[in-house]
Structures are given as C-alpha cells and as structure tokens.
Structure 1
Amino acid sequence: MTDTTRHTTVEHTTVKALAWELAADLHLPPEFDETRAYPALVSVHPIGSCKEQTSGSVYARALAAEGFVVLAYDASFQGASGGTPRAVEDPYFRVQDIGYAIDHLVTLPYVDADRIGAIGVCGGGGYAVNAAMTDRRIKAVGSVTGVNFGRLMHEGFSGYDPLATLDAVAAQRTAEARGAEPRVDPYLPPSPEAAEEQGLTELDLTEAVDYYRTARGRAPGGRTEALFSRQATAVGWDAFHRAEVLLTRPLCIVVGDKPGAFGAYRDGLELYRRAASTAKELVVAEGFSHYDLYDRPEPARIALTHLIPFYKKHL
C-alpha cells in the first residue's frame, strides 16, 4: 500500500479540448524534479463526478506518491471544464477527453511519452478501457469498479426499454431546439433522508447517496445529473466493443464482490473474459461494494496494492 503521507503537490492547469478547455489537476510526485522524465497516468472520474472526488483525491494522489505524474480532470460539459450545454454525459466526448489529456501530457518535458497509462473509476473505468483500445499512446490501463455505461443505459437506466427511451430523448431534444426548457435529470435523491423517504434500499443507490450527498464525498463539481436530451448516444454505446481484438494493452481490473444495480462486478468479469490482453489481472476485493472502492481505506488499499506494482511493471 502506498504511503499517501509522502508529500505530493497539485498544480492546477487546463487542457485544450475540442473548442474549450478542461479544468485539470496535475498530481506531482514527492521531491518532484522537472529535469527528470516520469511515467504518467490520466485519471478518469466516474459518471456525475469530478476531479476533486475519488479519481483525484484517492487514486491520483496515491499514485503520485509512488512516483507517477497523474492528470485528473473534469470531463467536458461538467465540473469546472468548458463546453455547452452543461451536464452532458456523452461517452464519445468522454473518451475523446482522455486523448486530449494525453495530448497535454506529451507536451510536458518531465513526462516520458512512452510511459503513459490510464486509470478510471466507475464509468471512468469503462471510458479508460475504451480509450485504450484505439489510442495506442496508452501503454497500460486500470479499471476500479469500472462500469460499462452503455450497457447500463441500455438496461437499468432506460427501464430495460431502450427504444422508448430513445423516442423520449428525441422528442425532448426537438422541444429544446424549439425553445423548451432543458430537462436535467438527477441521478440521485438530494440527501440520505430523501432516499429513505423514497424507500430506496438497493445497495449501489443508497451507497451512492452516502458518498455524493454527504460530507464524505460531496464536491461542488460533482453534480450527479444529466441533460436528458443528450443521452441517445449513451444508449447505443458499448465500452467493450471489439475488446477481443483491440484491447491488447496490460489490464488491471478491480471490483468488489458485493454486486449492485450498477453492475461493476458483472462488467469486470465480462471485461476480463473478453479482453485480448495477454497481461491481465482481475482483483476481487472480498466483502466490499462499488462505493467502498471509491474511498474506504481497506478496499482502496486492496486496489492500490495491485495497481501500484501493475503500473510500475508496465510503465
């Protein structure tokens, strides 16, 4: 397990994206020396999250303490990053953001462009894996409780009726083009008390509320909501498409064995089976759930105990 008490520093920066900039934090190793060439990682946040939450505060910080330069950023249309309309969760833009982050890293004189990897949490894990299939600058990829957001949108998030959802999205987008108010849907109730009043008992949903709606993980940029009229592409997307052929980079998958509605355990096992990678590892944190792996000390320790040597070996 990494010693996160070692002094790392964070530099705020921006990354040029399509026609706007991404707000980003560079997590730098202890005793950082800009004349050296460091291995680097792009850290990708979950759906509805931001760089100040688990992707930055837990995983980027811990990996920087072990000698990596880690870039954690807010996705396009989200957090402190640019792009309009706001609150868009579009897998194609999310994967492109990873490429823009790498574009930034390769311009830094202290980053070794031949030793760049990616890590993602929750939906960010699915995005990182997808990016690694086509951006060969990514030399190793890690997924922490990774979720295939396209599969989730095709199933549970569309009420298992993707065609009806696509019809509703189309109607809403037309209405907004004609001047209607945007429809922004919250992913979660506003508080644990509200979740209890609504009778929510499902594991992932209740633990998501505990993370995002309390002081444990709440951050201004983590809006946990999405513009409904821009969700069509997610319904038709698949994070693991052609993994059997294109996903050849070293791969480390971390999941908890307490499955929930978001399906990270299921997705992790599917990805491990399908990936063409010859160097691949499946880590199951026994007794822990999806949101435990966001920030709870023991499951995060389990994840990092495997991720740190994985990246040190392959980067």
Structure 2
Amino acid sequence: MLKKLVVLGAVAMTISASGCAADYKNNPFGLVYDGAITANEPNAVNIHQVTYKLNGLDIAANVYTPKGYDKTNKYPTIVIAHPNGSVKEQTAGLYAQRLAELGYITIAADASYQGASGGEPRGRDFPANRVEDIFGMADYITQYPGVDTERLGLFGICGGGGYSFKAAQTDKRFKAVATLSMFDSGRVRRNGFQDSQLDSIQERLAQAAKARAQEAAGGEIQYAGSTKFTKEEAAKLPYALYREAVGYYNGNYAHPNADGRYPVSNLLEFATFDATAHAELINQPLLIIAGSEADTLYMAKDAYEKATGTKDKELYLVKGATHIQTYYVPEYVDEIVNKLQSFFGNHL
C-alpha cells in the first residue's frame, strides 16, 4: 500500500500535529483550526455558508466578512484555494478568517468533486477542474454585496497555490496573487516528488489507463492517496511533507470531508499539466511564500524564476518552517499573515 501511494505521487496524505485546533464536531461550521469562529456576532468577523452552481455542480463555500461589514460599502476581497486533499474548513479557512480580521471579504470553497461540493466520482482531481474552481469563486464573489471588483486578490495554498499560479496567468480579474507552500500537482504526479520517479512514468500511465478502462466498463474506481496511516506506516514515508501531512490530516486538524483520495485514472490528465507553463503571462504583483525548510521549496523557486512577465515579484521564506507547518503553527501563521497584509495592502 505504501509503495503504491508513493509511486502515484500522492501528496494529500495525512500521527499527530502539535498545536491547538477546534474539533469539527463541536464547531457549528465544521471548522477545525485554532481560533475558529463558533458563532456569528454583531461587530465581528462573520462566516456565511453559501452554495452556487459551477458547470452544473453545487459548490460549497464559506464567505468571511470583516468586522463592521456593511454591504453598501466596498471592500478589498481575496479568493483562497485550498491544498490538495484538503477542505475549506482547514488551513484555507484559517487564512480566510485571519484576512477577514484585517478588513477583507474572503471566500474559501471546496473543490468540485471534493469536500461538501458536488460531483462524481468523489475525489476526482483534474487540474482543469481545480483552475475552473478558482474562476468560479471569482465569478461568485464578485457578485457578493460589498465586494470591490477592482480590488480582487488571489491566494492559493499547496496544490491550491499551483492552481492559483496557473489561474492568474489568464484571469486578470485578480489584481495581486500570492501562494503559500506552492505545490505543482502535475509535476509531482508526473515526475514523482522531488523528480524522483522520472523512469516510471510509462508504467504509471499504463496503470492509470487500465484504471480508466475499468471505470468505463462499470467497474470499481481505483483510488490512491489514502490518508489512513498508522504511526508506524507514516514513519516509513520517504519525505517530511508526507510524514507531517499524516499528522495534520489525521490528527488535530482532521475533517471527515478531507480523506485525500483521488482516482488512479486522474494521472491521465495530470501527466501533461504544468502549473509553471506560460508563467510569463502573469503580469500581476506576485508573492511566493514558502518555508525555508520545506521539501517543496524547489517548486516555489522554479515558479518564481519562470514568472518573468511581472516586474513586482518576491520569494519570501519563512525561516525554520516546513511545508505543513505553514498550515497551522501559530508563529509561522502570524508571520505569513503579516506578510500578506503588507502585500495585499499595497496592491489592493
């Protein structure tokens, strides 16, 4: 089982993450992050659970409005894309709430086929879908009362960072773009993590094609990327990203809608996706944030170098942080929020 998961490039694998978190069962909005909203109150940041249609599917989203929100006013707004295998109630929600505390309207939605959003088969993870999800969030939130469409920002985390990097290449509604712990899902699923499986792509493509043929014939859907590991199994995973993700997604920050699975057949779409292809089309201000100790840092550096079309770009390193630690560790989150406040404040 472990071998199959690594070979397929599973990344959203989730024995205990340190830090405080809210139990989704005790939170009326299902939020799991530290300091999560438990009730909507006057003159405070509020959360609004909404649904909207995107390509015939029901998309579940949370909109956060700032303290003193008045729909007759105009507010800068940020679209937030969640990590692979994650849901809006986890780290995307944490940053959505923290940015709303700074005066922004924010939206975090579950990707199509994932979380509380519609679509079958469950867990379907096509790159084109994830980019379209970002466009769809922009479609919805730009019609929301109080949103200033000329001050719309985009913030993507992990896989959501890679998809945001891709979305910003063409969607100029986004006036400023930031990523955190950026993860290029196509590159990893194609080449293996840290380009470690370049020699097995043909074998894996054959496996994916066989899985798709089985689906087409009405057979069982084969899945990869399960988040269910014992401590002993997780300790044997080859990279810190995977080991720490087990703690985050199966530990204090677990959510029943975030199991990390995706169909094996999805590799047919991922194999030709590259988040950094056409990176020169990004002309908006760009902030790429990564942990200095993240084993995904190579992808952030690559994206930064390829983004030659913008005159305003920065690669910001959070000293001492690993990839997963940027999701929840209080001192790192505070530093990241402060950096986002400066970036979006200057550009929105």
Offset at residue 277 of structure 1 (A): 1.4
What corresponds to 2:314 in structure 1?
Answer: 281
Pairing 1:1-315 to 2, within 5 Å after superposition: 7-56=44-93, 58-156=94-192, 159-160=197-198, 161-196=200-235, 199-200=236-237, 202-215=239-252, 217-244=253-280, 246-260=281-295, 263=296, 265-275=297-307, 276-315=309-348
CA contact (8 A) 1:89 1:231 kept: no
Q: Give the aligned residue type for 2:204.
A: T
Offset at residue 225 of structure 1 (A): 1.0
SS in 1 for 2:155: strand
Calculate the aligned-residue CA RMSD, in Å: 1.8
Structure 1: distance between partners of 2:169 and 2:202: 28
Offset at residue 187 of structure 1 (A): 4.2
> CA 1:213–1:134 in structure 2 vs 1: closer, same or farther (change >3 Å)?
same
- Could you report, residue by residue, the CA deviation over 1:212-250 in whole angstroms, capped at 9, with x for unpaired residues? 0112x1112211111112231112100011112x01111
SS in 2 for 1:231: helix
Structure 2: distance between partners of 1:191 and 1:223: 15
CA contact (8 A) 2:227 2:259 kept: no
TM-score between the two structures when normalised by the length of structure 2: 0.84
> CA 1:187–1:278 in structure 2 vs 1: closer, same or farther (change >3 Å)?
farther
CA contact (8 A) 1:14 1:24 kept: yes
Structure 1: distance between partners of 2:80 and 2:102: 15
CA contact (8 A) 2:289 2:318 kept: yes
SS in 1 for 2:175: strand
- Could you report, residue by residue, the CA deviation over 1:164-184 in whole angstroms, capped at 9, with x for unpaired residues? 222211111111111211111
Offset at residue 4 of structure 1 (A): 9.0
Structure 1: distance between partners of 2:165 and 2:65: 24
Higher relative contact order (CA 8 A, sep 6+): 2
Offset at residue 162 of structure 1 (A): 2.0
Offset at residue 190 of structure 1 (A): 2.8
Structure 2: distance between partners of 1:21 and 1:61: 23
Which ranges of structure 2 fall in alignment gaps of 5 or more residues?
1-34, 38-42
CA contact (8 A) 1:28 1:64 kept: yes
Structure 2: distance between partners of 1:191 and 1:8: 38
Structure 2: distance between partners of 1:271 and 1:186: 25
Offset at residue 159 of structure 1 (A): 3.3
SS in 1 for 2:321: strand
Structure 1: distance between partners of 2:205 and 2:342: 43
CA contact (8 A) 2:82 2:91 kept: yes
Structure 2: distance between partners of 1:189 and 1:223: 8
Structure 2: distance between partners of 1:220 and 1:20: 20
- Could you report, residue by residue, the CA deviation over 1:53-93 in whole angstroms, capped at 9, with x for unpaired residues? 1011x210110000111000000000000111111111100
TM-score between the two structures when normalised by the length of structure 1: 0.92
Which ranges of structure 1 fall in alignment gaps of 5 or more residues?
none
CA contact (8 A) 1:130 1:240 kept: yes
Offset at residue 194 of structure 1 (A): 3.8
- Could you report, residue by residue, the CA deviation over 1:125-183 in whole angstroms, capped at 9, with x for unpaired residues? 01111101111111111101111111111111693322222221111111111121111
